[in-house]
Amino acid sequence: MVSGTPPGDNPREATPWAVANRIVLRRTALALTGVVTLLLVLCTVASGLPGLVGSAVGVVAVALFFGTDVILLLRSGSTPPLTLFAQVIAVYVGKLVLTLAAFIILRGRAWLDPASVIVSVVVGCVTVGAAVVVLWSQWRIISVDP
């Protein structure tokens, strides 16, 4: 155990809740992988190579946008609430600025189908939103302090 970490707050400990949460997270990631594969294939069939590139850009944008939140919250462990709040807000603002800059830079490229980007971002966000609802309903969280 890391010194200064209260018992049960060590992220490397394999508590029953942590094991159950990892299983739910893996199953959700597997389902999202299926949706991404289907999305890439459909956009490629509809628009050719620019559709594939556009949908890949959209999928990567959604994965980075939401993935940073998952990484931040999984590593939050024993972070004080105000520090965590400041980190979440800073990461969110940073993500918005970087996403806007990336889409401005990629605007008007011939090798990129904008409709595929939009479709993949919308489908990705809706799918991630649905996955969050499923995760939250299956998550093993202690509702009271032990």
| 105 vs 41: CA distance, rounded Å | 25
Are the C-beta atoms of 110 and 51 separated by less than 8 Å? Answer: no
- Output the pLDDT for position 93: 96
Q: What is the pLDDT of residue 20?
A: 74
What string of H, E and C letters represents the secondary structure of 41-99? HHHHHHHCHHHHHHHHHHHHHHHHHHHHHHHHHHCCCCCCHHHHHHHHHHHHHHHHHHH
pLDDT (0 to 100) of residue 119: 93
Closest C-alpha to 60, from 89, 84, 81, 40: 40
- The pLDDT assigned to 12 comes to 59
Q: What is the mean pLDDT of each run of 10 residues along the chain (146 residues)?
A: 47 68 80 89 93 93 88 81 91 93 90 91 89 76 58
* Selection from 13, 29, 19 nearest residue 134 by Cα: 29
Q: Residue 48's pLDDT is what? A: 93
Q: What is the pLDDT of residue 2?
A: 43
Could you give the CA distance from residue 129 to residue 133 in angstroms, rounded to a whole number?
6
How far is it, in rounded angstroms, from Cα 68 to Cα 21? 18
Residue 35 contacts residue 123 (beta carbons within 8 Å): yes
Question: 39-60 burial, b for 16+ CB within 10 Å, e for fewer?
Answer: bbebbbeebeebbbbbbbbbbe
Question: What pLDDT score does 13 carry?
Answer: 61
Whole-model pTM?
0.73
